[in-house]
Structure 1
Amino acid sequence: MTTSPNTASNTDFLLAIEDLTVSFDGFKAVNELNLYVDREEIRVIIGPNGAGKTTVLDLICGKTRATSGSIRFHNRELTRLAEHEIVWAGVGRKFQNPTIYENLTVAENLVVSYPKGRSVFGSLGFRQDIAVRTRVEEVAEAVFLRDRLDDMAGILSHGQKQWLEIGMLLIQEPELIMLDEPVAGMSVRERQQTGELLARICQGRSMLIIEHDMDFVRSIAHKVTVMHQGKILVEGSMDKVHDDPRVKEVYLGH
């Protein structure tokens, strides 16, 4: 992509955030932020606690309302949409802690998220035809849970619960997936598998990820954005970010 970010609203960037600001009692958690994400890009946002990383995801998904600025997805303004409308537009969000239905099976968790049903009762009540079952099995295979479909979600390991929630996003076929610290609490092997998973599911969609594990970031990121005090400090490859003295001062050095 060689298009200048200054004209991003009129280009084919999947996500274009411009002059985005949100204030809480006068404190600007995000301050005139400009961020542009390409199609099929894995963008990782890093930075110290309080930098505004999670707030950016909250703003994109509609959980928090912007004070000013623009968030355009496929050139459609998101700041005026309700949370469920943003989901329907093709944006999926996974929070830091897994939010799954522990008293349902793995398969039922995936069915709940199937686009035909927009609630637990609606999803479990509609007829689960061959297309639904096939899609559930495909997603379970993709997230390493094909052999756990009939198990209760509550007995899964922490890492498997993280994978299940990613599967619950995947079954909705979003074009943008946002993940908040997806490998937190995982074993080394689970982190490796998650890296493989994200690289695979990025085909045909983009990902916006918040992460603190620098080895994991290096293994998956197409581009890294460093935030500090609600603004972008620097962007680029992991090598560029790692070698930047400003990043070392405010983040990596600590």
Structure 2
Amino acid sequence: MYQQKDFVLTIEGLTVSFDGFKAVNDVSLYIEEQEIRVIIGPNGAGKTTVLDLICGRTKATEGSIKFKGKELTKLKEHEIVHAGVGRKFQNPSIYEDLTVFENLELSFPRGKKVWGALTFSRDQEVIDKVTEIAEMIFLQDKLDSPANLLSHGQKQWLEIGMLLIQDPELLMLDEPVAGMSVSERKQTAELLQRITKDRSVLVIEHDMHFVEEIADRVTVLHQGQVLSEGSMEKVQNDPKVIEVYLGH
């Protein structure tokens, strides 16, 4: 067993009940620095609920979620964001009528507080950071394009960029390659490999080819519980996983 300090995220005994139904039931997860962890499982397994619990959208009935040793279950959503946890939902939520540059600029951390937003100026620091992130998310040639002209995959990248510019230490992505073309999926895998140099990434995904490309470790959820965990190869060969998930 590792010592606590080695983990960016330590989840222990996490449970949430909705009217007596345990959507997540005694789940424990340990995520290391610079790790890409992928959670897979059939629909209704509790995958998205786990992300909701981590980011404070849903409150746990029991258990503990520690991010770098700090307990998150008592914090509000915005406090969890400030602690360094970023989350992208399934559908991209970007400002369609603004340019790529403006979308990224709006997410730059300085502009968050009302006073910061009022006094915000487009100085060199902002321009440099926006340019750096745009390059990372393959949109350096699209900085002046309105976001509504981007492809579905590019919108997904833009939203990831809007999170990256806030420099979270844990990035959570819910089905990041859903609806993407094959080449976009490949680039997204490359993008995730790039961004884990400075952070950990927790991904929910159904696309097994993509999971194989990116995952350091895979956790399989079934009926709100951890069914199996380990390398993709180990999980794929686990008879329990084959029975409830991969066999279908």
Task: Tell me the residue number matched to 2:170.
Answer: 176
User: CA offsets per residue over residues 79-107 of structure 1, 9 Å max, x none?
Assistant: 11111110010000000110111111111
Contact map agreement 2:48 2:174 (CA 8 A) in 1: yes
Aligned mates of 2:239, 2:119 — CA distance in 1: 56
Aligned mates of 2:118, 2:52 — CA distance in 1: 28
The within-5 A match list for 1:1-254 is: 3=2, 10-118=4-112, 123=117, 126-254=120-248
Point out 4+ residue stretches in structure 1 off by more than 6 angstroms. Answer: none
Cα shift at 1:155: 1.2
Letter in 2 for 1:77: E
Aligned mates of 1:178, 1:131 — CA distance in 2: 26
- Aligned to 2:95, the other structure's residue is in SS state coil
**Aligned in 2, Cα 1:232/1:105: closer, same or farther, shift over 3 Å?**
same
Question: Unaligned 5+ residue runs, structure 1?
Answer: none
**Aligned in 2, Cα 1:22/1:198: closer, same or farther, shift over 3 Å?**
same
Aligned mates of 1:24, 1:32 — CA distance in 2: 14
Contact map agreement 2:34 2:197 (CA 8 A) in 1: yes
What is the TM-score when the length of structure 2 is the normalising length? 0.97
Work out the percentage of aligned pairs sharing the same amino acid. 68
Aligned mates of 1:160, 1:145 — CA distance in 2: 8
Aligned mates of 1:247, 1:148 — CA distance in 2: 42
- Aligned to 1:11, the other structure's residue is in SS state helix
Contact map agreement 1:45 1:226 (CA 8 A) in 2: yes
- Aligned to 1:14, the other structure's residue is in SS state strand
- Aligned to 1:199, the other structure's residue is in SS state helix
**Aligned in 2, Cα 1:222/1:176: closer, same or farther, shift over 3 Å?**
same
- Aligned to 1:56, the other structure's residue is in SS state helix
Contact map agreement 2:5 2:68 (CA 8 A) in 1: no
Letter in 1 for 2:199: R
**Aligned in 2, Cα 1:121/1:52: closer, same or farther, shift over 3 Å?**
farther
Count of aligned pairs:
248
Cα shift at 1:128: 1.3
Contact map agreement 1:108 1:124 (CA 8 A) in 2: no
**Aligned in 2, Cα 1:29/1:123: closer, same or farther, shift over 3 Å?**
same
**Aligned in 2, Cα 1:98/1:155: closer, same or farther, shift over 3 Å?**
same
Cα shift at 1:50: 0.2
Letter in 1 for 2:242: K
What is the TM-score when the length of structure 1 is the normalising length? 0.95
